[in-house]
Amino acid sequence: MKLATLKNGSRDGKLVVVSRDLTRCTDASFLAPTLQAALDDWQRIAPHLEALAESLETGAVPSERFHENDAHSPLPRAYQWADGSAYVNHVELVRKARGATMPESFWTDPLIYQGGSDSFLAPRDPIPLVDEAHGADMEGEVAVIVGDVPLGASVEQARDAIRLLMLVNDVSLRGLIPGELAKGFGFFQGKPSSAFSPVAVTPDELGEAWDGGKVHLPLSVDLNGKPFGRANAGIDMTFDFPQLIAHAAKTRPLAAGTIIGSGTVSNKLDGGPGKPVGEGGAGYSCIAEIRMIETIADGAPKTPFMRFGDTVRIEMKDTAGHSIFGAIEQTVQRHEA
């Protein structure tokens, strides 16, 4: 099934079930007022939501037109957002650009950062930016929402806890990150509010593209209306979602509604850093990556980070070309205090 949260003036919005083709939706708030409420009591509520989704497909319940513009992020606020760096290729490239090698352990020990989860952007909300010098960048990613995961969970327990999948724009401020990471405690100001796709889907909606750990489909990232990234999320993902979840649960439980991200989707090409979409490559899911390639090739980056008015669109289509999650589409907007 496919679920979304419609804006209704409240902090958590209203839960709806969305049709497979994303054209219609039906109120699900009589089953659970919010997506978090459904996740809190998933075993009991999910079967009713599934039944409602079937009724929606057959036209057996009242429905209305689904507008992606009316959607919040599926969880407008969450109790946890933890983002992995599973495409180690991406990490290696970033380091290479600044002349640093990557420890071998990065291929065997997952890297995860704790993100802010109290105030996500809606998928069509502008990205508020105080200063272009902060270096706004998109990061196109896949994420899962889990149910309760016990402390010390095995990879198999982690796999069973995956409830929903969605896309993310993990907005990053590249101008602030180096100084912040140098302080040693990770990201804070460098990672402003993220946005998620209009729709979250259960794994079965992905059919054969979901193997229980990865999504084997290309992630479309367009910058200012032009194809920028088409990297396949199933390729070069060194750690799959169950491994990332188990890593996150090593010393503490994860509560239902925790969101775990894949990190920026990134594909190698013939063991190298890949090529832009315009040159027949899979392109990039963030600007930082093409800037690294440019730096490696020419000694300096030439693609600028996002400026006021720039637009990013992140979407994933199935093999028949239909959008699975709806599209994140955001414009960078000057923030006036």
**Residues at the interface with its own copies (CB under 8 A):** 11, 40, 77-80, 82, 85, 103, 106, 109, 111-119, 128, 130, 134, 151-152, 173, 176, 181, 183-190, 192-193, 247-248, 250-255, 257-258, 335, 337
The residue among 100 and 269 lying less far from its own copies, judged by its C-beta, is: 100
- Sequence letter at residue 62: P
Strand 64-65 and strand 81-84: the pairing is: unpaired
The residue among 320 and 337 lying less far from its own copies, judged by its C-beta, is: 337
Q: How far is CA 223 from CA 1, 37, 68, 137, in A?
A: 30, 35, 19, 10
Least distance (Å) between residue 309 CB and its own copies? 19
Taking a C-beta distance cutoff of 8 angstroms, is the pair 311, 224 a contact? yes
The residue among 117 and 197 lying less far from its own copies, judged by its C-beta, is: 117
Least distance (Å) between residue 121 CB and its own copies? 9
Least distance (Å) between residue 213 CB and its own copies? 20
Least distance (Å) between residue 274 CB and its own copies? 23
How far is residue 257 CA from its own chain's centroid? 14
The residue among 47 and 152 lying less far from its own copies, judged by its C-beta, is: 152
Nearest Cα to Cα of residue 314 among 195, 156, 183, 165: 195
For 222-258, letters b (16+ CB in 10 Å) and e give bbeeeebbbbbbbbbbbbbbbbbbbbbbeeeebebbb
Neighbouring CB atoms inside 10 A of 88's CB total: 21
Least distance (Å) between residue 185 CB and its own copies? 4
Reading the block at residue 279, the tokens are 């040159």
The residue among 81 and 228 lying less far from its own copies, judged by its C-beta, is: 81
Least distance (Å) between residue 98 CB and its own copies? 12
Instruction: Please name the residue that has the structure tokens 């969450």.
Output: 78
The residue among 193 and 197 lying less far from its own copies, judged by its C-beta, is: 193
